[in-house]
Structures are given as C-alpha cells and as structure tokens.
Amino acid sequence: MIAEEESKIESEIIRLITTNNTQILKPNSGQSVSIGDHNVCVSVHEDPGLDHRVWEWHGHVMSYDEENGCSMEYVYGNYFERLDSRMFGFYSDGDEIEEDYQGVGGNLGLRGLLSGLSLGGDRVLYRNMDANF
C-alpha cells in the first residue's frame, strides 16, 4: 500500500519536472504541495560544474490497516535531472538561476547520469555481499 502511493507520488513529480511544470512544485519554498491525496515538500539544488540538478521531496502518506488503524508513513524521494550542456558557463555568482530553469533539462534518472561516466575501460564493478566476513 505505502509503496504504491510512494510510486504514484514519484511518478507525478517526475512527470511535472520532465514537462517543465516545476512551478507547481514550489521548489525550495518550504511550502507543501498536493500530489494526489498527499502533501510533500520539494527542493532542488544544483552544484556548480556538474551536469545535473537534484530534486528531492519528502512528506507523509496516510495508511490504514485493520490491526493498527490509521498511521502516517514518512516518504522520501529524489530525481537526478540532466542539464543541457549549453547551460554551463553562463552563470556568475550573482545570477538568478531559478528563472532559467524553465525549458532546460532532460528526463534521465540516476541510471542515465551514470551511463555517461567513463569508468576506465570495460571493467566489471561489483560489491561482494558475502555474509562470511
């Protein structure tokens, strides 16, 4: 139940970002916005020199079960939006960047950002999850 609602919230937020309807999300305002039947706060930040910005959101989802009744579950999500390469180098410290967010970006998540990285050839990277330390 919670996972379904969290997925709906994530899908709607990403849809708004990728269609450049970000003003609806009121990013960095500290105000909650309604996404479906739930309220979340959204923030966005961009580190200088990187080719993406990070959208983050958090809020609560109300759930009900017969045993425990109503309860609020905390939800959190993030989305990595790739920026258009034409955008780099045009901002000084005093520029208003938020006004320029309209119409810039892509619809890639973390997988899309990582796919462009050069990891030094055809190395296979993995993490050993052996329980016998």
Q: Please say if the pLDDT value at position 132 is more than 70.
A: no
Question: What is the average pLDDT across 58-86?
Answer: 86
Give residue limits of the domains in the chain: 2-115
- For residues 107-112, average pLDDT: 54
pLDDT in tens, 81-106: 988 744 444 343 444 444 444 444 45
Cβ 37 vs Cβ 4: under 8 Å: no
Distance CA 50, CA 22 (A): 20
Question: What mean pLDDT comes out for the span 43-65?
Answer: 90
Structure-token pair, residue 116: 């462009």
- Average the pLDDT over each of 20-29, 52-61, 104-113 and give the range with the smallest value: 104-113
> Other C-beta atoms within 10 Å of 24: how many?
14
Answer with the residue of higher pLDDT: 93 or 54.
Answer: 54
DSSP classification of residue 48: T
pLDDT of residue 115: 57
Sole residue written with tokens 């706060």: 41
Apex 120 CA angle, 116 and 121, nearest 5: 90
- Would you say residue 65 has pLDDT above 80? yes
Identify the residue with better confidence: 86 or 21: 21
pLDDT at 12 over 80: yes
DSSP 2: H
114 pLDDT higher than 70 = no
Q: What percent of the chain has pLDDT over 90?
A: 44
